[in-house]
Amino acid sequence: MFGGFHFYDTSQSLEFQRCGYTVGAAFQKEPWCLHFCGDSIDAEAYEADRQTFVGHYSTPG
């Protein structure tokens, strides 16, 4: 559904909820790991994926 890196994690959580799973996040005093994907963001790609996300998930599914 998405053309790039953005929103894959949030959409996965919403798909799990749609299937009846409970979605949660573990408490972390300190991060278990860090994800670094560079010093810049492709704002155009982010916006395209954001529009896809909003369009797909703004209505109950």
- Is the residue at 43 inside a domain? yes
Residue position matching structure tokens 């749609």: 18
CA torsion, points 46, 52, 54, 59, in degrees to nearest 10?
-170
pLDDT attached to residue 50: 95
pLDDT attached to residue 30: 94
- Is the residue at 6 inside a domain? no
pLDDT, tens only, 29-58:
999 988 887 888 889 999 999 999 999 999
**Which of 39, 61, 50 is closest to 3 using CA atoms?**
50
CB 12 within 8 A of CB 55: no
pLDDT attached to residue 61: 59
- Is the residue at 53 inside a domain? yes
pLDDT, tens only, 10-22:
999 999 999 999 9
- Is the residue at 42 inside a domain? yes
For the chain, the domain total comes to 1
- Is the residue at 20 inside a domain? no
Q: Tell me the C-alpha distance between 57 and 29, whole Å.
A: 31
Instruction: For residue 57, give its domain range.
Output: 26-61
- Is the residue at 4 inside a domain? no
- Is the residue at 5 inside a domain? no
pTM: 0.74
